[in-house]
Chains A and B, each alone.
Chain A
């Protein structure tokens, strides 16, 4: 290897390291491919070089921006390359410390705190609690509004919630699995088995269609009026995300944020910490119409395929500025409704018996949902799970396919 080639390959390795520090999933395979790609192009052509590195090292459109920044920073001045990596390393470490430290330090603090510390402890609730809690305690907990709970009760409620499972009605796929009592014959296995009998067919192998739960998309309002519920329901959503595949979760207040990747972290404390870093509009105002429109435009085609079920969690207390705003909200809801298999609206306001959809926002949204349910205490959450497991009622109006 010549000196120049050696220099280049060292640079590629350093560049890969920089990308990795920036959070892109770049491994040795990508680095090797990048090396190889650089031998196939004219190195004097910077645009070609960028394309080559990008095609081999980046696998998602979302990562292009980060890549471009890193590329500019790194290749503008190759002699500063090492420095850049060192800087990035430092930067990343600082960042890392910031990102990781709080949950642990808080847990340490919590562990050291006096037992009377009212801070709710979340996931390390030992199962003993259940035995300690008396029956009447638990009953009271079931009926208590989330908003009226004390810190201790919230903590109990959270551990209850984490035990809930969401068994959505199964949808039938076109895949087959062996089943001795299945309705279809599997000729391939039948013939293979018959060869063991010298070609005599003794048994007919059968198959049945595989069923699997449909994809679930959760849209959760985190504006000021919903903050308390959202905090608790996030535990439920986190448990669901880790319990099954194909769950996409979005938070919205004034803007829409996809938190599916963060929620997939097993430890809820770490997951919520990461979410708080990327969600800027916690407990702020609410713009339901615009958030739903953004979802329809940017995400619906990507996550609502294959018969998804949508859980919309909001109190609907959006005050559209004018009739046009209400119409936009109604249109967005209509589009959302037509793009998914089932749209379920969970509204904590429904807890009051005399609740009437007076708010303009609620009236605009209500005609477009398949189900409208309360979600304000454990009992209602349980009831919700029961209905979700039942077969969806047939929908009469024709629907548009969004894809």
Chain B
């Protein structure tokens, strides 16, 4: 273990809070364990609940570099781990020929040297010659199953085997954070190697605390109303609920409009920041919005 890792759960919570991340007790405990045990952290949850943010905060807080791999369908080794620089290899072969060099073994070891290897995020994260990293494998559900299979070696042993070169192993284990929005179920084999945590929507108190940190310009009263409104929305029947990211955006937008108080017309005009499906917006615009606003006023006054 590299020095600087927090010693207790509350130290971990302080580390996260120091970077402006308000974590609940369960999340702090899971993050602490992931750091302590050197296991990858697998975070699932609704979009916009701060899964990706954890990796960024950890990198910042622990003074490590952040290596990010954004997953997509069909991602292969060349994009995720490493790629040989074929053009340079071809030139090297021609040069050897021109020099009359006929030792095949020497040629092979020459053109499969480390300098011909282009590192992509995964290899870079475990590169023993570079400072320790936080590796963020973002939206793993967007990658396809063959890619998951490749990840297994990396997650279990923090090493990558390159047939032409050998095995590259991390000197300091990277802190690995995987996130998924569940557009597909990630395979059990990946889950088994990780510590699992489901990131839920925050409760009202925590969401207000998050707003206070992330959008400090928002007046306190408005912020309480915004949170009460969003929390009420999450209790309704919508196709896509607003995440914390949307709450922050909305609160910021409302302050740009110089609002000090939530009003039904204002809500109708800015609903697009909160809800991203037309059916959902249509469901709430007008009377329902007015009702929720009244409720939010009441709830905010009560706190």
- Spell out A's residues near B (CB within 8 Å): 25, 29-30, 33, 36-37, 40-42, 45, 47-48, 51-52, 54-56, 58-61, 64, 173-176, 187-188, 191-192, 194-196, 198-199, 296-297, 301-303, 305-306, 331, 335, 400, 403
Report the minimum CB–CB distance from B33 to chain A (whole Å): 5
- B9 and A41 form a contact (CB under 8 A): yes
**Chain A residues with CB below 8 A from B96, complex form:** 199
Q: Given the complex of chains A and B, what is the CA–CA distance between A342 and B57 in angstroms?
A: 42
- A195 and B37 form a contact (CB under 8 A): no
**Chain B residues with CB below 8 A from A297, complex form:** 237, 239
- B107 and A198 form a contact (CB under 8 A): yes
A174-B74, A188-B84, A195-B104 known; A302 vs B33 contact (CB < 8 Å): no
- Is B221 positioned at the interface, with any CB of A under 8 Å from its CB? no
A40-B37, A64-B198, A175-B76 known; A191 vs B89 contact (CB < 8 Å): yes
- A306 and B107 form a contact (CB under 8 A): no
- B198 and A61 form a contact (CB under 8 A): yes
Q: List 21 A-B contacts (CB under 8 A).
A: A33-B39, A37-B33, A40-B33, A45-B9, A52-B30, A55-B29, A55-B33, A56-B33, A61-B44, A61-B198, A64-B198, A174-B73, A175-B74, A191-B111, A198-B102, A198-B104, A297-B237, A302-B182, A306-B73, A306-B184, A335-B279
Q: Given the complex of chains A and B, what is the CA–CA distance between A301 and B184 in angstroms?
A: 8
- B73 and A173 form a contact (CB under 8 A): yes
- Is B197 positioned at the interface, with any CB of A under 8 Å from its CB? yes
**Chain B residues with CB below 8 A from A41, complex form:** 9, 29, 32-33
A52-B33, A195-B108 known; A59 vs B164 contact (CB < 8 Å): no
Q: Given the complex of chains A and B, what is the CA–CA distance between A246 and B195 in angstroms?
A: 25
Report the minimum CB–CB distance from B90 to chain A (whole Å): 7
**Chain A residues with CB below 8 A from B93, complex form:** 191, 194-195, 199
**Chain A residues with CB below 8 A from B30, complex form:** 51-52, 55
**Chain A residues with CB below 8 A from B237, complex form:** 297
Which chain B residues numbered 95 to 153 have a C-beta less than 8 Å away from chain A? Answer: 96-97, 102, 104, 107-108, 111, 141, 144, 146
**Chain B residues with CB below 8 A from A187, complex form:** 84, 86
- B196 and A59 form a contact (CB under 8 A): yes
- B182 and A192 form a contact (CB under 8 A): no
Report the minimum CB–CB distance from A334 to chain B (whole Å): 9
**Chain B residues with CB below 8 A from A61, complex form:** 44, 198
- B184 and A305 form a contact (CB under 8 A): yes
Contact mask for chain B residues 252-263; partner A; CB cutoff 8 A; 1 contact, 0 none: 000000000000
Task: Among A25, A48, A194, point to the contact of B29 (Cβ < 8 A).
Answer: A48
Task: Among B104, B183, B239, point to the contact of A305 (Cβ < 8 A).
Answer: B183
Report the minimum CB–CB distance from B73 to chain A (whole Å): 6
Number of chain B residues whose Cβ lies closer than 8 Å to a Cβ of chain A: 52
Q: Given the complex of chains A and B, what is the CA–CA distance between A52 and B33 in angstroms?
A: 7
- B37 and A188 form a contact (CB under 8 A): no
Q: Given the complex of chains A and B, what is the CA–CA distance between A25 and B39 in angstroms?
A: 19
Task: Among B25, B107, B164, point to the contact of A51 (Cβ < 8 A).
Answer: B25
- B25 and A48 form a contact (CB under 8 A): yes
- B184 and A58 form a contact (CB under 8 A): no
Q: Given the complex of chains A and B, what is the CA–CA distance between A187 and B83 in angstroms?
A: 11
Q: Given the complex of chains A and B, what is the CA–CA distance between A49 and B198 in angstroms?
A: 16
**Chain B residues with CB below 8 A from A48, complex form:** 9, 25, 29
Contact mask for chain B residues 1-42; partner A; CB cutoff 8 A; 1 contact, 0 none: 000000011000000000000000110011011101101001
Report the minimum CB–CB distance from B145 to chain A (whole Å): 8
**Chain B residues with CB below 8 A from A195, complex form:** 93, 104, 107-108, 111
Q: Given the complex of chains A and B, what is the CA–CA distance between A195 and B106 in angstroms?
A: 10
- Is B291 positioned at the interface, with any CB of A under 8 Å from its CB? no
Q: Given the complex of chains A and B, what is the CA–CA distance between A174 and B9 in angstroms?
A: 43
Question: Which of chain A's residues has its CB closest to B237's CB?
Answer: A297
Leading 10 A-B pairs by shortest Cβ distance: A174-B74, A59-B191, A187-B86, A199-B93, A40-B36, A51-B29, A55-B195, A305-B183, A55-B30, A51-B26
Question: Which of chain A's residues has its CB closest to B200's CB?
Answer: A61
**Chain A residues with CB below 8 A from B33, complex form:** 37, 40-41, 51-52, 55-56
**Chain B residues with CB below 8 A from A40, complex form:** 32-33, 36-37
**Chain A residues with CB below 8 A from B157, complex form:** none
- A331 and B32 form a contact (CB under 8 A): no
- B26 and A176 form a contact (CB under 8 A): no
Question: Which of chain A's residues has its CB closest to B90's CB?
Answer: A191
Q: Given the complex of chains A and B, what is the CA–CA distance between A231 and B75 in angstroms?
A: 41
- Is B188 positioned at the interface, with any CB of A under 8 Å from its CB? yes
- Is B185 positioned at the interface, with any CB of A under 8 Å from its CB? yes
Q: Given the complex of chains A and B, what is the CA–CA distance between A400 and B276 in angstroms?
A: 12
Question: Which of chain B's residues has its CB closest to A40's CB?
Answer: B36
